[in-house]
């Protein structure tokens, strides 16, 4: 593993800081993370490391703008409970030149969700506590609180 103190992680070209192409800064230069078997366990580590809650999706980055950057990390395999992406099993440390066909991306869902409703915009409010979802028990959720929750959940 390169000097872990100098490694940085970010998401780029998404709708906010918790969605986008996964990028790692290695040896002072930003580049992509490539993996042809990118999954929700890998995405979970990225979302948790960035303070973005739980993973909602693990994707190939083809849905985002293409970049002319090196591949900094390749073939990543996480269990989902690692503290940082570079704590996962990584077969290749860059920089590499090559096609960006397997650049990775994630969407994180934050720390709250609605569950058990008739649609994605209704249901019981749950919040993330560690790796578990717990129900919010509050008898007096007013319109102002509901507006904040709905805005956060989109």
| pLDDT per residue rounded down to tens, the chain (154 residues) | 666 667 999 999 988 888 999 999 998 899 999 999 999 999 999 999 998 888 989 999 887 777 889 999 999 999 999 999 999 999 999 899 988 899 999 999 877 788 888 987 888 888 777 667 888 877 667 888 888 878 777 7
- Gap between the Cα atoms of 101 and 83, Å rounded: 27
Instruction: Please return the burial class of 144, using the count of CB atoms within 10 Å of its CB with bins 0-12, 13-18 and 19+.
Output: exposed
CB atoms within 10 A of CB 5: 5
Q: According to the model, what pLDDT value does residue 71 have?
A: 95
Task: Report pTM.
Answer: 0.78
C-alpha 77/C-alpha 5 separation (Å) is 21
Summarize pLDDT for 98-142 with one digit per residue, the tens. 888 999 999 998 777 888 889 878 888 887 776 678 888 776 678
**138 with 109: CB under 8 angstroms?**
no
Which domains are delineated in the chain?
4-108 (3.10.250.10), 112-153 (no CATH)
Lookup: tokens for 35:
């993996």
């Amino acid at each position: 593993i390169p000097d872990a103190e100098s490694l940085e992680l970010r998401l780029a070209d998404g709708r906010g800081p918790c969605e986008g192409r996964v990028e790692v800064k290695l040896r002072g230069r930003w580049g992509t993370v490539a993996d042809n078997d990118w999954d929700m366990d890998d995405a979970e580590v990225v979302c948790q490391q960035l303070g973005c809650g739980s993973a909602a999706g693990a994707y190939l980055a083809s849905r985002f703008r293409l970049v002319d950057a090196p591949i900094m990390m390749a073939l990543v395999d996480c269990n989902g409970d690692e503290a940082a992406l570079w704590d996962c099993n990584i077969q290749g440390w860059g920089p590499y030149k090559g096609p960006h066909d397997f650049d990775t991306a994630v969407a994180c869902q934050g720390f709250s969700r609605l569950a058990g409703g008739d649609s994605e915009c209704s249901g019981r409010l749950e919040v993330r506590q560690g790796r578990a979802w717990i129900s919010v028990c509050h008898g007096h959720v007013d319109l102002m609180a509901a507006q904040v929750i709905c805005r956060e959940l989109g």
